[in-house]
Amino acid sequence: MSIDRRLREGFERLSGDADASVDAELERVMRRGRRQRALNRGATAISIAASLIIVAVFGPRLLDAGGRSDPRPGDEPTPLLSAIAGTYTATLPDVGGGTIARNDMAGRWTLTLGLNGTIELVAPPAFGTVPSGYSFELDVDDRFTTNLFVNDSCGDQGAGLYRWRGAGSELTFIAVDEPCPIRETLLTTAPWVIG
């Protein structure tokens, strides 16, 4: 047998074995790749679902907190605010002239001071509807600060500062620094009575 022929047969045998092992290895690699892609897709789906849940649960709170340009009362009650929190009424007298007559303020008013620092106010029909979103703060020196009627009846005159006193079922306010006559008239003309 010639050398040529022996070499040719040897190469054919070796190449046949190589083709079989290459095909087997290729198939194994392809299976591993398909399995890895399936695992990656599952992990991606779980990550997206978890992200959506987090956004749904915490997103509104984060957007609300981050989007505020003005301070607002907190959601949690504080012991200091509980000193005057409650619903009070006051009746402003229908007298000639003055702030009450000029602004149709005569009648029964209802003031609700929330444990979270919010104010809800119901005015007599002649005055009209009072917007919501007003708040108050107290400090340890019995000072009461409020933005009541800011950007409404008081325009942009800012917050008012008062001293407050509670005696029995009555709550009274004394103006300390008040730029808005309508707010001062409302809070100081008559005592506020629980109920």
Q: What is the block-wise mean pLDDT of the chain (195 residues), using blocks of 10 residues? A: 76 64 78 85 85 78 50 55 91 85 93 94 91 90 92 89 91 95 94 91
Domains of the chain: which residue ranges?
Answer: 1-69, 81-194
Fold of 81-194: Lipocalin (2.40.128)
103-to-39, 95, 162 alpha-carbon distances in Å = 71, 12, 22
| pLDDT value at residue 64 | 54
The answer to pTM > 0.75 is no
The predicted structure's pLDDT at residue 15: 65
Which residue, chain included where needed, has tokens 């708040």?
A: 135
Identity of the residue numbered 184: E
Measure Cα distances from 69 to 63, 147, 180 in Å: 12, 15, 23
Beta bridge partners of 92: 107
User: What pLDDT shows up at residue 67?
Assistant: 45
Instruction: Classify the phi-psi angles of 97: left when phi > 0, otherwise alpha if psi is within -120 to 50, otherwise beta.
Output: left
Distance of CA 185 to the CA centre of its chain: 32
Q: Please tell me the distance from the alpha carbon of residue 80 to that of residue 101, in angstroms, as a whole number.
A: 35
DSSP 178: -
